[in-house]
Protein backbone atom coordinates (compact mmCIF):
# COMPACT_ATOMS: atom_id res chain seq x y z
CA UNK A 1 0.00 0.00 0.00
CA UNK A 2 1.51 3.28 -1.11
CA UNK A 3 1.66 6.40 0.99
CA UNK A 4 -0.93 9.01 0.00
CA UNK A 5 -0.35 12.71 0.61
CA UNK A 6 -3.71 14.48 0.40
CA UNK A 7 -3.62 18.09 -0.74
CA UNK A 8 0.16 17.93 -1.26
CA UNK A 9 -0.16 20.17 -4.34
CA UNK A 10 -2.93 21.85 -6.29
CA UNK A 11 -3.98 21.30 -9.89
CA UNK A 12 -5.78 24.26 -11.49
CA UNK A 13 -6.40 25.57 -7.97
CA UNK A 14 -7.92 22.40 -6.51
CA UNK A 15 -6.05 20.22 -3.99
CA UNK A 16 -4.93 16.80 -5.28
CA UNK A 17 -3.50 13.70 -3.64
CA UNK A 18 -0.02 12.49 -4.52
CA UNK A 19 0.70 8.77 -4.33
CA UNK A 20 4.06 7.85 -2.82
CA UNK A 21 6.42 9.25 -0.21
CA UNK A 22 7.83 12.77 -0.29
CA UNK A 23 11.42 12.51 -1.48
CA UNK A 24 13.59 14.74 0.69
CA UNK A 25 17.05 16.23 0.29
CA UNK A 26 19.63 13.91 1.82
CA UNK A 27 17.68 10.72 1.09
CA UNK A 28 18.77 8.01 -1.34
CA UNK A 29 17.18 8.43 -4.77
CA UNK A 30 14.36 5.88 -5.20
CA UNK A 31 14.56 3.33 -7.99
CA UNK A 32 12.17 3.28 -10.95
CA UNK A 33 11.65 1.47 -14.24
CA UNK A 34 10.76 3.77 -17.11
CA UNK A 35 11.07 3.55 -20.89
CA UNK A 36 13.34 5.50 -23.21
CA UNK A 37 11.53 4.73 -26.47
CA UNK A 38 11.43 0.93 -26.08
CA UNK A 39 14.42 0.44 -23.78
CA UNK A 40 13.80 0.00 -20.05
CA UNK A 41 15.75 2.42 -17.83
CA UNK A 42 16.20 2.11 -14.05
CA UNK A 43 18.05 4.40 -11.65
CA UNK A 44 21.05 2.04 -11.89
CA UNK A 45 21.05 2.55 -15.68
CA UNK A 46 21.61 6.29 -15.27
CA UNK A 47 25.26 7.32 -15.11
CA UNK A 48 26.92 7.85 -11.71
CA UNK A 49 27.21 11.61 -12.11
CA UNK A 50 25.04 14.62 -11.27
CA UNK A 51 21.53 13.98 -12.61
CA UNK A 52 18.50 16.22 -12.97
CA UNK A 53 15.00 14.74 -13.24
CA UNK A 54 12.51 17.27 -14.61
CA UNK A 55 9.04 15.80 -14.06
CA UNK A 56 6.14 17.12 -16.14
CA UNK A 57 2.46 16.18 -16.54
CA UNK A 58 2.60 16.11 -20.38
CA UNK A 59 5.08 17.45 -22.92
CA UNK A 60 2.16 18.45 -25.17
CA UNK A 61 1.11 21.29 -22.86
CA UNK A 62 2.57 24.82 -22.88
CA UNK A 63 4.12 24.92 -19.38
CA UNK A 64 5.66 21.42 -19.72
CA UNK A 65 7.06 22.31 -23.12
CA UNK A 66 8.51 25.55 -21.71
CA UNK A 67 10.00 23.72 -18.69
CA UNK A 68 11.71 21.16 -20.92
CA UNK A 69 13.10 23.78 -23.29
CA UNK A 70 14.30 26.07 -20.45
CA UNK A 71 16.22 23.22 -18.80
CA UNK A 72 17.57 22.16 -22.22
CA UNK A 73 18.92 25.69 -22.81
CA UNK A 74 20.22 26.21 -19.27
CA UNK A 75 22.07 22.90 -19.13
CA UNK A 76 23.53 22.56 -22.64
CA UNK A 77 26.79 24.12 -21.49
CA UNK A 78 27.35 21.41 -18.86
CA UNK A 79 27.70 18.73 -21.56
CA UNK A 80 28.70 15.24 -20.43
CA UNK A 81 29.37 16.31 -16.83
CA UNK A 82 25.65 15.80 -16.09
CA UNK A 83 22.73 13.63 -17.15
CA UNK A 84 19.38 15.33 -17.60
CA UNK A 85 15.99 13.62 -17.88
CA UNK A 86 12.42 14.67 -18.57
CA UNK A 87 9.95 12.25 -16.97
CA UNK A 88 6.25 12.08 -17.89
CA UNK A 89 3.43 9.62 -18.47
CA UNK A 90 3.47 10.46 -22.19
CA UNK A 91 3.99 7.51 -24.51
CA UNK A 92 7.67 7.14 -25.51
CA UNK A 93 6.77 7.83 -29.15
CA UNK A 94 5.10 11.14 -28.23
CA UNK A 95 8.18 12.11 -26.20
CA UNK A 96 10.47 11.32 -29.13
CA UNK A 97 8.25 13.30 -31.53
CA UNK A 98 8.22 16.29 -29.15
CA UNK A 99 12.01 16.31 -28.79
CA UNK A 100 12.50 16.04 -32.54
CA UNK A 101 10.01 18.83 -33.29
CA UNK A 102 11.40 21.13 -30.58
CA UNK A 103 15.12 20.41 -31.12
CA UNK A 104 15.59 18.98 -27.63
CA UNK A 105 18.83 16.99 -27.85
CA UNK A 106 20.58 17.09 -24.47
CA UNK A 107 17.69 15.81 -22.35
CA UNK A 108 16.74 12.14 -22.27
CA UNK A 109 13.04 11.37 -22.03
CA UNK A 110 11.73 8.72 -19.66
CA UNK A 111 8.16 7.46 -19.99
CA UNK A 112 6.57 6.23 -16.77
CA UNK A 113 3.48 5.03 -18.65
CA UNK A 114 4.20 1.30 -18.14
CA UNK A 115 3.89 0.86 -14.37
CA UNK A 116 4.02 4.37 -12.82
CA UNK A 117 7.02 3.29 -10.72
CA UNK A 118 8.71 6.68 -10.97
CA UNK A 119 5.49 8.43 -9.99
CA UNK A 120 4.83 6.17 -7.02
CA UNK A 121 8.43 5.85 -5.78
CA UNK A 122 9.19 9.58 -6.07
CA UNK A 123 5.78 10.68 -4.73
CA UNK A 124 4.63 12.53 -7.85
CA UNK A 125 1.73 10.41 -9.17
CA UNK A 126 -1.50 12.43 -9.01
CA UNK A 127 -4.48 10.40 -7.85
CA UNK A 128 -8.08 10.98 -8.88
CA UNK A 129 -7.77 12.66 -12.28
CA UNK A 130 -9.61 11.20 -15.31
CA UNK A 131 -6.16 10.54 -16.85
CA UNK A 132 -3.12 9.71 -14.68
CA UNK A 133 -0.53 12.49 -14.61
CA UNK A 134 2.70 13.23 -12.74
CA UNK A 135 2.94 16.36 -10.61
CA UNK A 136 5.42 18.96 -11.82
CA UNK A 137 8.62 18.57 -9.85
CA UNK A 138 12.39 18.70 -10.14
CA UNK A 139 14.98 16.50 -8.45
CA UNK A 140 18.77 16.59 -8.48
CA UNK A 141 20.72 13.45 -7.57
CA UNK A 142 24.48 13.47 -7.03
CA UNK A 143 26.96 10.88 -8.27
CA UNK A 144 26.53 8.80 -5.10
CA UNK A 145 22.75 8.57 -5.58
CA UNK A 146 21.78 11.08 -2.89
CA UNK A 147 19.01 13.62 -3.54
CA UNK A 148 20.50 17.12 -3.27
CA UNK A 149 17.47 19.11 -4.52
CA UNK A 150 13.74 18.33 -4.45
CA UNK A 151 10.99 20.68 -5.56
CA UNK A 152 7.35 19.67 -5.73
CA UNK A 153 5.79 22.65 -7.52
CA UNK A 154 2.86 23.72 -5.30
CA UNK A 155 0.55 24.44 -8.27
CA UNK A 156 1.00 21.84 -11.00
CA UNK A 157 0.25 24.37 -13.76
CA UNK A 158 3.05 26.71 -12.56
CA UNK A 159 6.73 26.58 -13.54
CA UNK A 160 9.44 25.27 -11.21
CA UNK A 161 12.28 27.39 -9.82
CA UNK A 162 14.81 26.88 -12.63
CA UNK A 163 17.60 28.85 -10.95
CA UNK A 164 17.71 26.78 -7.76
CA UNK A 165 17.52 23.50 -9.70
CA UNK A 166 20.33 24.51 -12.07
CA UNK A 167 22.45 25.76 -9.14
CA UNK A 168 21.89 22.44 -7.31
CA UNK A 169 22.88 20.48 -10.41
CA UNK A 170 26.05 22.55 -10.90
CA UNK A 171 26.92 22.09 -7.20
CA UNK A 172 26.50 18.31 -7.58
CA UNK A 173 28.98 18.15 -10.48
Active-site pick, 34, 64, 84, 104: 64
Distance in angstroms (rounded) separating the CA atoms of residues 173 and 171: 6
77 has pLDDT over 90: no
Q: Average pLDDT of 129-134?
A: 94
Contacts of 138 (CB under 8 A, 6+ apart): 52, 53, 54, 55, 149, 150, 151, 153, 160, 161, 165
pLDDT at 110: 98
CATH topology of domain 4-172: Glutaredoxin (3.40.30)
Residues, the chain, total?
173
Contacts of 72 (CB under 8 A, 6+ apart): 84, 104, 105, 106, 107
Running DSSP on this structure, what letter comes out for residue 27? S
How confident is residue 90, by pLDDT bands cut at 50, 70 and 90?
very high
2 has pLDDT over 80: no
Alpha-carbon separation of residue 132 from 34, 46, 137, 163 (angstroms): 15, 25, 15, 28
Distance in angstroms (rounded) separating the CA atoms of residues 89 and 119: 9
Q: Average pLDDT of 122-139?
A: 96
Q: Average pLDDT of 42-57?
A: 97
65 CB neighbour count, 10 Å cutoff:
17
Catalytic annotation present for 64: yes
What are the structural domain ranges in the chain?
Answer: 4-172
CB-based burial label for 3 (10 Å; 0-12, 13-18, 19+): exposed
- At 14-34, the pLDDT tens digits run 999 999 999 999 999 999 999
Running DSSP on this structure, what letter comes out for residue 29? P
Amino acid sequence: MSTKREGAVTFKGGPVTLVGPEVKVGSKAPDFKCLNVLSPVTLADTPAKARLFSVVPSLDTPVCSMQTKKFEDALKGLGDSVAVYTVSLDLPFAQKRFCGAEGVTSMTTLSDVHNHSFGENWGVLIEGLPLPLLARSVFVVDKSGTVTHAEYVKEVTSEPNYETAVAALKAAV
